[in-house]
Structure 1
């Protein structure tokens, strides 16, 4: 017998809306919490989910504009940007019942620890997803890539490990292939290294992923960026194979050739990026442990400059 979950997606942008749509289509009682304009359009017309081929469908899904039954929530999917997790967790502290699991699906390093400090009475799980989504307009997203979602154990509440098994089935049955992994930190670092190479380069050049490989010398640059990430990861106890990760970066670029990475999407919308939690985190830990990270630092500084320019451009519009 299928038992539907009551799920709140908090921070329903591109990826949160995608997860919410697929879970709602499978019958779960999903409520999206996000940008008011996005939520209003979903309330009026449903959530339009398009594919890279141009096909699409409209998914009816509830939003927080109609109210949230916090007392009945069984799972919270936290999909805000990494820089917003602390603010979001503090908002949730007053309404989310104790014991309700929280899954963090952000890019970058360390977000689950920050959330765990704010929501100590809730099991906090770290997830890494290879699903990709592009925010097109309020009420419209494009599902640009499919892939596995990996979920680690709730380290602050080990007794809730059984829920993770149920969660894996719930997500997988809804078209979100999911696996439990004991050492989720390794997967966080692999994705961080991949993001550190692809996202700022795409954002700086203003191109979709596939165009990166047409730039002379980009593969050696990618390898050097990854090398810095691998060296830093080793100092925090996570061993990665530099060559394997560099090859995965190139495969990811080819597999997602038509994608605009999330950092480029943020720049184009005049929003803050997650650079501080990707390349910035690598630099910060590198400084702490005495590991040089000149390429990651250069990318961090360049994206910060472009962020300011993007915000100023949108203010004038």
Structure 2
């Protein structure tokens, strides 16, 4: 499969690197220092999914540079891993690269990214992804997989993509070492990730604490419980279907299954602030 990863930071590099390691033809587009380091010495992936050095990656700082250097063959899969505030610009750059039979997948945090891709790319080509493993960019050319809670989920928000096409994508991810499943309820799962992020990330950033520390402290746990309850109230008021009927149902999953394997993780929002970068809620 020919794959383009647009916005290849930590998550995008892990996904692209693992797919390339499995034999897929992968192109990364990302920040120049990271791309240059990979060109020179390969992509180093470390952490809980093992240690790998991947050298069969084409890397560019922009789509324009990619095209200028002659990489113009069509892509079957285009993965969007930019911050949410860059989704519209990313979709505009990717639109000319989309061909019949290709799909564009949002592997991003936040709600609304898939809708933007549908608007610009087309409802029959845009897919959503729910990612709940963590990775960090250790240094240019080196990414580390830090935590894993559940499989990546990929699906069509409006049901415009055949299940067979979804399975082809998710099977490729899984065979590459990224546990992934298709879903017919991607919107609800993305809402679940919003719950997870909203409860943990701002509080962990303000207090500079890991997810596990937040869950262990009675005071921060109470704050997160209120955040979860408020999101449920907003979703219900908007007529949004959730995977859980009551906040208590989600909290059982949250504290019992999702937080424990990610307990040592610091919010990526904290890393953005520490490095002077814009956050996704700015």
TM-score relative to the length of structure 1: 0.79
Map of 2:13 onto structure 1 = 17
Q: Paired residue for 2:115, among 110, 113, 116?
A: 113
Map of 1:295 onto structure 2 = none
Q: How does 1:46-125 map to 2 (within 5 A)?
A: 46-51=42-47, 56-60=51-55, 61-64=57-60, 67=66, 69-120=71-122, 123-125=125-127
Q: Distance in 1 between matches of 2:161 and 2:193?
A: 27
Residue 200 and residue 168 in structure 1: after superposition, are their counterparts in 2 closer, same or farther (change >3 A)? same
Q: Distance in 1 between matches of 2:222 and 2:247?
A: 12
Indicate conservation of the 8 Å contact 2:157/2:185, yes or no.
no
Indicate conservation of the 8 Å contact 1:10/1:33, yes or no.
yes
Map of 1:150 onto structure 2 = 153
Count of residues in correspondence between the two structures: 270
Residue 86 and residue 194 in structure 1: after superposition, are their counterparts in 2 closer, same or farther (change >3 A)? same
Q: Distance in 1 between matches of 2:7 and 2:190?
A: 20
Indicate conservation of the 8 Å contact 1:131/1:145, yes or no.
yes
Query: Residue 258 in 1 paired to residue 261 in 2?
Result: no
Note the C-alpha offset of 1:159: 5.1
Q: Paired residue for 1:206, among 196, 205, 208?
A: 208
Residue 122 and residue 12 in structure 1: after superposition, are their counterparts in 2 closer, same or farther (change >3 A)? farther
Residue 47 and residue 83 in structure 1: after superposition, are their counterparts in 2 closer, same or farther (change >3 A)? same
Q: How does 1:127-142 map to 2 (within 5 A)?
A: 127-142=129-144
Query: Is 36-45 or 63-72 further displaced after alignment?
Result: 63-72
Deviations 1:51-101 (A, max 9, x none): 159x63322122126836343311101111111100111112233335420
TM-score relative to the length of structure 2: 0.88
Q: Distance in 2 between matches of 1:95 and 1:232?
A: 37
Q: Distance in 1 between matches of 2:51 and 2:167?
A: 31
Note the C-alpha offset of 1:181: 1.2
Q: Distance in 1 between matches of 2:17 and 2:38?
A: 11
Note the C-alpha offset of 1:259: 1.3
Note the C-alpha offset of 1:103: 0.5
Q: Distance in 2 between matches of 1:70 and 1:211?
A: 48
Residue 248 and residue 135 in structure 1: after superposition, are their counterparts in 2 closer, same or farther (change >3 A)? farther
Query: Residue 245 in 1 paired to residue 247 in 2?
Result: no
SS in 1 for 2:36: helix
Residue 154 and residue 98 in structure 1: after superposition, are their counterparts in 2 closer, same or farther (change >3 A)? farther
RMSD value over aligned CA atoms?
A: 2.1
Map of 2:26 onto structure 1 = 30
Indicate conservation of the 8 Å contact 2:173/2:179, yes or no.
yes
